[in-house]
Amino acid sequence: MRRLLRSLLLLLVLPLVACSLRGNESESVGTGVTVAVLDVGQALAVGIVTADGRALLYDAGNSREDAETVILPFFRSYGIEQLDYLVLSHPDQDHVGGMPAVIAGIAVASFVDPVLPTTNRTYLETLRLVRERGIRAMRAERGRILQLGEQVSVRILWPERPFLVDTAGEASDNDNSVVLLVEHGGVHFLLPGDLEERGEEALLEQEGADGLHAQILVVGHHGSRTSSSEPFLRAVRPAVAIISAGRDNPYGHPHPEVLQRLRAVGADVYRTDREGTVLVHSDGRRWTVEIERELER
């Protein structure tokens, strides 16, 4: 029944979408912005493309293959030749893995990074490429705004310094993830990376409940039980929640409790492990959701 409803909904809304869909390479994005949670398995990559040809990539999946088979083709399908911003939420492999191949495959104007202490080799390689290619490197700091064309503002809500530390006194990768609030008119998207409960609590304290509201939430930490706490979700109040997780992943993401919490705040849940890439198109007032695969949910 749910599936039928979604099919009907898609049939109703798709004709309204003045956007190019996959495979229609010559058309522009139309009047708005497309935010795509790309199907990169148990990892994260979110592509953003605006009507005036601006582009941002938030995380780059696990591997070179993710970059070459999913991420770069997505931007090419929209005729994008340069990323205005390449944002790394935090230097874990499932977020930084495809970055060197992205930098090799498309021009990048600015690289934005929380500059967390790490020994991840792919991250170090990414930094080397950023330097070699003369890409502008920016430290992600709360309060900064990345302007993406005329209509889209991307606010950096997190991290804040000093970094949140774990029980061993070390800066926690996940809880210092770069959190972005993408604003297109009245339509807001929240991208919290792998922020977990402590980070959510600290962000909520800084931002207040009103500052976190977003109609579309890219669910934190692949739907792990340690993220998407109730107070956080009540502040965000998402209508659409999108989870990036790998099919049959060993972590059991997304956790059933998280699915339950999302539904309890009224969110319609989409999952890349079942539906493939999930795209949201916004005209600044309304949004529509397009999914790659229509599978049993």
Applying CB under 5 A, the residues found at the interface with Zn ion are: 94, 194
Instruction: Give the separation between CA 91 and CA 143, rounded to whole angstroms.
Output: 21
| Minimum separation from the CB atom of position 36 to Zn ion (A) | 18
To the nearest whole angstrom, how small is the minimum distance from the Cβ of residue 281 to Zn ion? 25
Strands 179-184 and 187-191: antiparallel
Q: How far are the Cα atoms of 84, 119, 260 from residue 30, in angstroms, in the given order? A: 19, 42, 35
**CB 221 to Zn ion: min, Å:** 6
Contacts of residue 255, Cβ cutoff 8 Å, sequence gap at least 6: 223, 224, 225
C-beta of 78 vs 158, nearer to Zn ion: 158
Provide the strand spans (E) within the chain.
33-37, 46-50, 55-58, 82-87, 107-113, 136-139, 145-148, 152-158, 179-184, 187-191, 216-218, 240-243, 268-271, 278-282, 287-291
Question: 68 is written with which tokens?
Answer: 């070459």
Hey, how many other C-beta atoms are within 10 angstroms of the C-beta on 68?
15
When the beta carbons of 84 and 194 are compared against Zn ion, the nearer one is: 194
* Closest to Zn ion by CB, 194 or 283: 194
Q: How far is the CB of 62 from Zn ion (least distance, A)?
A: 9
Compute the distance between CA of residue 240 and CA of residue 287 in angstroms, rounded to an integer.
10
In the bound complex, what is the minimum distance in angstroms from residue 194's beta carbon to Zn ion?
4
Taking the complex as a whole, how short is the minimal distance between the CB of residue 18 and Zn ion, in angstroms?
33
| Of residues 94 and 207, the one with the C-beta less far from Zn ion | 94
Closest CB 173 distance from Zn ion, rounded Å: 9
- Under 8 Å CB-to-CB from 239, ≥6 apart: which residues? 215, 216, 266, 267, 268
Taking the complex as a whole, the smallest distance from the CB of residue 174 to Zn ion amounts, in Å, to 8
- Residue closer to Zn ion by CB (options 94, 200) is 94
**In b/e form, how buried is each residue of 36-58, taking b as 16+ CB within 10 angstroms?**
bbbbbbbbbbbbbbbbeebbbbb
Closer to Zn ion by CB, 152 or 218: give it.
218
Nearer to Zn ion, 32 or 223 (CB): 223
Phi, psi (rounded to 5 degrees) for 48: -125, 130
- Distance linking the first and last C-alpha atoms of the chain: 10
Give the nearer residue to Zn ion in terms of CB position, either 54 or 222: 222
